[in-house]
Structure 1
Amino acid sequence: MPYVAKGMQVGLFGGSFNPPHAGHALVAEIALRRLALDQLWWIVTPGNPLKSTRELAPLSQRLRLPPAVAANPRIKLTAFEASYHVRYTADTLALIKARNPGVDFVWIMGADNLRDFHRWQRWREITMTMPIAVIDRPGATLSFLSSIMAKTFDYARVDEADAPRLARMKPPAWTFIHGPRSLLSSTAIRNGELSAD
């Protein structure tokens, strides 16, 4: 795991990143700025339990970040889940919190993931473990109103204007952050429909 000091606000941005692209970089940039983060961990997972591994590129290939991301010293690339043999986000978050007392973490995900968040193993536990920032993605803007997670935890939604304080809030707490959106998707890039840049 990357080094962090007590009192820091750290964003956790996990995914398959198959492949990583400029859309992911935009989510990371928005999260760093709008959540007032000291660091953002770009966590490349060994594999998503909800997705087929047939098209999954080797971990070493998915660790090649877009140049703008690699150049940002506040973004820390990590694939520690493979070392700890962790498959599920709930276990990842528990491990991170146990190993980094005194650090304020926030889970970051694109709005396209919010739609199916209730299919994640122990999704309610995830929401009760750590604040969540949902970053707008094309075609997913209304997910924050219609998703099962958004409806279930509607009472815990934090105004977007309070996003800089989200990492220090007691969960459940989540916000939806609007901003510039990229049309890039890993699926479209794998299918040859788009370039990663």
Structure 2
Amino acid sequence: MQPSPLQCFAAGQDEPAPQRFALAVYGGAFDPPHAGHASVICRALETSEQVLVVPSYRHADAKRMADFDLRCAWVERLAARFGDRVRCCSLERELGADGRVIYSVDLLSCLAERYGLPGERLALVIGEDNLTRLKTFHRAAELRQRFGLVVADEEMTVHSSAIRAMIAAGQAIPEAWQLPEIQADMTIYRSAM
């Protein structure tokens, strides 16, 4: 299946247009990261000087996830394949230390401040499925007004939940879904489910 065309939206704009961002921010559980995530990172690099991959500190729906430090280590290994333009960012641990929910707009605001960048130079990376529900995001109007948006679908549809279930059931994971960088660690899901 071919991914949808890459779409970029400037801050405050409703129509896609070619953009170049200083920083693209790709958040998710990454529990575990897989080849679909790698394809999104690759596509985000087409529009941005640097991509920060940000593992969720806690799941919005209070679902259990693999240890945060382990997921960060996995993302760091994945990022290494792209060189110095892709990095893991563990900022959500700091932002969520007091137990509060971490919203995309707050994460991007903090990153803009720390990197000394105007909001329009940052973009949130989402899949096309999230584009239709973007208006339901916390402070959605502020998010769209202040920050850019990169809509980059995975080149293959892979779900981390399917990978976890297959491992728990003792089934082989299709090779195309796997990331060799983390394959040895996947046994944690055998006992976790």
Q: Structure 1 length normalisation: TM-score?
A: 0.64
Closer, same or farther: CA 15–99 of 1 in aligned 2, 3 Å: same
1:114 alignment partner in structure 2: 131
Q: Distance in 2 between matches of 1:60 and 1:71?
A: 19
Q: Partner residue of 1:44? A: 55
- Contact in 2 for aligned 1:111/1:135 (Cα 8 Å): yes
Tell me by how many angstroms 1:187 deviates: 1.9
Would the aligned equivalents of 1:21 and 1:66 in 2 still touch at CA under 8 Å? no
Match runs of 1:24-63 below 5 Å? 24-33=37-46, 35=47, 37-49=48-60, 51-54=61-64, 56-63=65-72
Query: How far apart, in 2, do the equivalents of 1:115 and 1:29 lie?
Result: 23
The aligned residue for residue 162 of structure 1 is none
2:14 aligned residue: none
Residue 65 in structure 1 maps to residue 75 in structure 2: yes
- Residues 1:96 and 1:68: Cα distance change in structure 2 (over 3 Å): closer
Across the two proteins, how many residue pairs are aligned to each other?
A: 144
Task: Answer 1 or 2: higher relative contact order, Cα 8 Å, separation at least 6.
Answer: 2
Q: Gaps (5+ residues) in structure 1?
A: 1-6, 138-180
Instruction: Find out whether 1:76 has 2:93 as its counterpart.
Output: no
* Equivalent position of 1:154 in the other structure: none
Matches of 2:70 and 2:54 in 1, distance apart?
A: 14
Structure 1 residue 96 and structure 2 residue 111: aligned?
yes
Work out whether 1:123 is the aligned partner of 2:140: yes
Moved over 3 A (4+): 66-69, 193-196
Letter in 1 for 2:112: K
| 1:188 equivalent in structure 2 | 162
Structure 1 match to 2:186:
none
- The unaligned stretches of length 5 or more in structure 2 are 1-19, 179-193
Tell me, yes or no, if the aligned pair for 1:48 and 1:87 is still in contact at 8 Å. no
Q: TM-score, normalized by length of structure 2?
A: 0.65
1:131 to partner: Cα distance: 0.7
RMSD: 2.4
2:45 aligns to what SS in structure 1?
helix
Q: Secondary structure at the match of 1:65?
A: helix
Cα distance in 2 for partners of 1:102, 1:122 equals: 20
| C-alpha distance in structure 1 between counterparts of 2:31 and 2:136, whole Å | 20
Counterpart residue number, 1:174: none
Question: Does the 8 A contact of 2:21 with 2:123 survive in 1?
Answer: no
Given that residues 108 and 122 in structure 2 are in contact (C-alpha distance below 8 angstroms), is that contact kept between their aligned partners in structure 1?
no
Question: Which has the larger Rg?
Answer: 2
| Distance in 1 of aligned mates of 2:162 and 2:109 | 33
Q: 1:93 to 1:65 in 2, by over 3 A?
A: closer
- Secondary structure of the structure 1 residue equivalent to 2:31: coil
Q: Is the 8 A contact 2:36 2:158 kept in 1?
A: yes
